[in-house]
Copies of this chain bind each other. A is one copy, B any other.
Amino acid sequence: MSEVYATRRSRLRERCNAAGTAAALISRPANVRYLAGAAPQGAVLLLGGEQDQLVCPVPPEDRPADGRPDESLVLHILSTPGRDPAVAAADLAGSQGSEALAVEEHHLTVARYRALDAVAPKVRLAGLGTAVEQLRLIKDEEEISCLRIGAEIADQALGELLESILVGRTERHLALELERRLVDHGAEGPAFPTSVATGPNSGRAGHRPTDRRVEEGDFLSVCLGAAYRGYRCEIGRTFVIGTSPADWQVELYDLVFAAQRAGREALAPGAACRDVDRAARQVLDSAGHGAALQAATGHGVGLEIDEDPQLAPAAMGKLDACVPVTVEPGVHLPGRGGVRIDDTLVVRPEADGGPELLTITTKELLAL
């Protein structure tokens, strides 16, 4: 495994060298983990100099779920408790004669940046931009297999919940039960706070569970995901409670399902991100639900639950093969509720069978 991380770091170093900066400081935790194999609490990665160094505030815990720091890295444990590892790393870079240091300006606060500047006045701070995030876009098969296992775990947890009695239970309790089941099936934990929305709350993006109880006739929308070896995926489904859904429920469900299918079918290497968004969005638009303020109908997943690319009207760029994304249009009617359907898929060329669906729970409208 060590080679994977060393290769990633040398790709980043090539970019830095091309930009005229021999040293780089990586502070964003997901980026540290991507390049170092682990991101102990507060750790930063210093590239350049004789050997790459992982600067940690305290010795890292040895937990398989956290990954292990790549052994080709020098582990540098701070001797001053409470010191900012980024400041210590800039200090190191200065003392090793670095003239310029590329930093993650989209992650460092203005205050930390000033502290870096003050501790190493001879080192010119440059912008690394989102170079590491760009490397993270296209996943290798090892990464995709972590996402696939995470999706299986989420499918299992959701499947079990559907077999239990739901009426009378609160959103909050259903969310906790789903999270327990994720862990039962081998997740490190939820990939993000589990969303359970009933009745008038259903269909809301990112709804946080309340004490409202499931009632007969409700829509129930659920969004959950598992974290597995650091990788995070997402599944969202909407169900109806009771023996038979109302006409408006069937109509709304069919509409969102059609939008979600259109988005899924638009996924292909070379497709523009905004076109995938439009494919899903225009189905809702043409039915008069366009005013719903959903900024994006999907996004990349990986070491973070929301990463590039964004599937949104103003998104630039095109999809590549081996990029995992969500497709998750939804409609929420204030006071009544709504529908969200959310899958994680990996973009694949048509010759390989087209997009690979990771979250396989049925998307038929189930009456529970």
- Which of B112, B172, B294, B296 is within 8 Å of A183, CB to CB? B172
Does A316 belong to the interface (CB within 8 Å)?
no
Q: Which of the segments A58-66, A85-93, A231-239, A240-248 contacts the partner chain?
A: A58-66
Does A108 belong to the interface (CB within 8 Å)?
yes
The CA of A81 and the CA of B311, in the complex, are separated in Å by 13
Q: Mark A166-188, 1 if CB is under 8 A from B, else 0.
A: 00000011001001100100000
Cβ contact within 8 Å between A109 and B111? no
Does A106 belong to the interface (CB within 8 Å)?
yes
A81-B294, A82-B296 known; A107+B109 contact, CB < 8 A: yes
Cβ contact within 8 Å between B293 and A58? yes
B residues in contact with A112, CB < 8 Å: 106
Q: Using a CB-CB cutoff of 8 Å, which residues 349-367 of chain A contact chain B? A: none
- Which of B106, B295, B296 is within 8 Å of A109, CB to CB? B106
Cβ contact within 8 Å between A82 and B210? no
Cβ contact within 8 Å between A108 and B109? yes
Interface residues of A (CB under 8 A from B): 41, 57-59, 61, 63-66, 81-82, 103, 105-114, 172-173, 176, 179-180, 183, 204, 206-208, 210, 293-296, 310, 312-314
